[in-house]
Amino acid sequence: MTFSQKVKNELQKIREAGKKYKSALAYGIDYGLKNVGSAESLIPDEFLNGDEMGGIFLRGVFLSCGSVNNPQKDYHLELIPPNKEKCLELLDFLEEQGLKMKLSSRHEQPFLYCKGSEQIIDFLTFVGATKYSMELMNVMIYKEIRNNVNRAVNCESANIEKTAFAASKHIADIELILKEKGEDFLPSKLREVAKIRRSNVGMSLEEIGRAMNPPISKSGVNHRLKKISLLAENLRKTLDVSH
């Protein structure tokens, strides 16, 4: 059973008490069907005054010509009245109720639709499908949390890759200096940071700073590593000239 059918089944279980409420539901159902003379007139004013009658009328419209997609896949709700005139009239009615939908057409058949999760939740709540409006809300919250986690993971992965690339460059510079000039070539402050960087490839600059004696800031570590890189670059130039 589709999500849309589950919603409709839930709406059909609602039993309206009172002749006028049953009449509103029947009118809405007729309104959404083709070739029904009684539904060709304007939407009665009694359906425009207050959420209760309007919600029952719109429930009937949805039962006869509406559908809603499974929110696990995508957010989409639509109404397909028999002609464009009713689409435009319904669009005005929906706006008066604070519900937002748009007009479009498919194979020359006009219809109303909305793709916003919050708009669909408002619609389902308005027509009485509160069980499924809550389910959609839970899906929306889950998707938002999942997307936030994915963004955080992607950001963390990018940071790890950036850190790894920078570390490999630092170590290459340090290895060159040690090979060509020896450890004593570096001043004591640069020698200490080089030793920690070389022995701890996965350390962040902040962690390297805490491992120093005395500890220094992340910017201080970055400044010293830049000095080492500059020494290595000058050394490379010297070696290139001599060769």
Model pTM greater than 0.85? Answer: no
Domain presence at residue 152 = no
Domain presence at residue 146 = no
The pLDDT of residue 120: 93
Domain presence at residue 145 = no
- Give the whole-angstrom CA distance, residue 184 versus residue 195: 12
* Residues 35 and 103 placed together within one structural domain of the fold: yes
* Residues 98 and 180 placed together within one structural domain of the fold: no
- Burial letters 130-144, b for 16+ CB under 10 A, else e: eebbebbbebbeeee
Domain presence at residue 144 = no
Residue type, 189: K
* Residues 27 and 120 placed together within one structural domain of the fold: yes
Give 70-120 pLDDT, tens digit per residue: 998 889 999 999 888 889 999 999 998 889 999 999 988 899 999 989 999
Q: Which two tokens stand for residue 32?
A: 């959404």
* Residues 56 and 176 placed together within one structural domain of the fold: no
The pLDDT of residue 50: 65
* Residues 116 and 227 placed together within one structural domain of the fold: no
Range of the domain at 182: 160-242
- Give the whole-angstrom CA distance, residue 59 versus residue 123: 9
Domain presence at residue 107 = yes
Q: Give the CATH number for residue 83.
A: 3.10.28.10
8 Å CB contact between 169 and 224: no
The pLDDT of residue 41: 57
Q: Which two tokens stand for residue 16?
A: 């309206």
* Residues 84 and 187 placed together within one structural domain of the fold: no
* Residues 131 and 21 placed together within one structural domain of the fold: yes
* Residues 128 and 175 placed together within one structural domain of the fold: no
8 Å CB contact between 121 and 133: yes
Look at residues 109, 34, 110, 114 and name the one whose alpha carbon lies nearest to residue 67: 114
Number of structural domains in the chain: 2
Which domain-ending residue is among 88, 104, 136?
Answer: 136
Spatial CB neighbours of 194, under 8 Å, sequence gap ≥ 6: 174, 177, 186, 228
Count of C-beta atoms within a 10 Å radius of residue 65: 22
Residue 173 half-sphere exposure toward CB, CA atoms < 13 A: 25
Which domain-ending residue is among 136, 152, 173?
Answer: 136
* Residues 97 and 184 placed together within one structural domain of the fold: no
Spatial CB neighbours of 40, under 8 Å, sequence gap ≥ 6: none
Query: Which positions of the chain have pLDDT values less than 70?
Result: 16-18, 34-41, 49-51, 240-243
